[in-house]
Structure 1
Amino acid sequence: MIFHKHIPCLPLSDYIQHIVYVSGSTPDIPYIKELPDKGINLVIELQEKTINTAFLDTDLKEKVTMKNAWISGTQRQAILYQNQTVSSILSIRFTTGGFYALTKIPITAIHQVCVEAELLLGNSFKHLYEKLINTNDVGQLFVHIESYFLQCIRDQRFEDSLTRFVDKNIGKPIDWLIKKSGYSQRHVIQVVKQHTGFSPKYLQRLHRFQNVIRDIQALKGKTDWMAIVNDYDYFDQAHFIKEFSQFTGIKPTEYLLSQMEVEDNQLVADMILRPPSE
């Protein structure tokens, strides 16, 4: 598997967290699980003839198929992708609210999981895709992506926006966020939902979940489950396991096992290669 990760410079880094290129895989990784985060993903398949399949439920019955490019990250639980060995993927992870700030597309209007990118972004994206599939150099792929989204920056006010403020202080109590924002609770919830797809309270749960993921990745076999429960203010271990399972579809111990068994799982925090059988 060929893997490259690129982090844009300012001003684009305010909007895009990272861009990942992955090409090739092995048959012993049947599935790839995308974990929920606070940002939108734009996933681009550079192999025109490759059709990707995503399963939206744990029993693998509800599925969607995608070609070329699609949007994910609007879902509340993990998405399971069928791994394709003949595949070259560019995945753009936007910051919290970054996709809306660049495109002005309300996230609440994206009802379908894995909706085609061209349906949302139009002909400009169609032209970008043609450029990408005719580019062999990985560095140049990143340049094309950056150039496309740099043109979308209409002003520099995103850094001072309400959504940015909430995200930067997401660890604070909700009452504190509302008071410091200077807006009513209803207005804050409405704006944050429009820009991210989630309420501030749900973003807090996602933030806590992602911190847990990073702790498990860092500690591996030294992971102290009770310390995680206490450090992140879960009611008890049962509450922690229940919430973790809601986001991932697997138990925390199964996630830890996946990190220890497959070294490449360290490459991207929000993906699991060859997730355990459910």
Structure 2
Amino acid sequence: MINDRLNGKNVVITGASSGIGAKIAVLCAQSGANVILLARSWDKLQTLKQEIEENYPVSVWIYKLDIANTDEIQRIFAQITAEVPSIDVLVNNAGFGIFETVEEAKIEHAKAMFETNVIGLIGCTKMVLPGMKARKQGHIINIASIAGKIATPKSSIYSATKHAVLGFTNALRLEVAEDGIFVTAVNPGPIETNFFNIADQTGSYVKNVRKIMLSSDQVAGAVVKRMLSRTREINLPRWMNAGDVLFTLFPKTFERLGKKAIFKK
């Protein structure tokens, strides 16, 4: 899958060492984009950098970053700005979840999810906006979740972080509408990645939803295909749009009819 709009562009990807982030990085390189890869796992970043450079004639920069650390975000992005001519696309992909009831949930887990999924995402966005505004072009892509639209039991805190991401994304889109900057929210359902190693340590949720799980290739392909285009949202799989509409218009009916499905955790 080649996106000609990306040829020669520079794409920053957080959470790039594995899963969707790594797949997006490879597809961007296939399209001729230079990639700036950020993650906590330095060894995995080095391996991915080598793989991309061996297969595609593009530049690859890697930086070790924990986006829950706002001071570190400022330091790393200052370094990126000094080393990379410009940032054309930012993919805010880093994030995690833990499936627990509110009663079971630990406050430190809630803080960690908000610091990574929300504050870190905002921090990275703030670092690229001035350059994009100055050039009157750019694209910010925030990986949210269908959980940000349809909350389910045992994902109360995770859903809250993704609701926050969607609210931030929708407001940002309006703020930069006159600056030539595109802003896209990506709302996937469950994906076959190591996300569930933390979120679903019992394995019961993955077992229950395996038949409808997306592959990281599907999600990455949909994201890269729409880079540098005016796309408001990417909702995957598409049939989940119907569930979102039903939930918005008839929440009580949705909860009553979908009770069996939403209690799969």
Identify the TM-score tier after normalising by the shorter chain: under 0.3
Q: Which has the higher helix share?
A: 2
TM-score of the superposed pair, with normalisation by structure 1: 0.27
TM-score normalised to structure 2 length: 0.28
Larger RCO of the pair (alpha carbons < 8 Å, separation 6+): 1
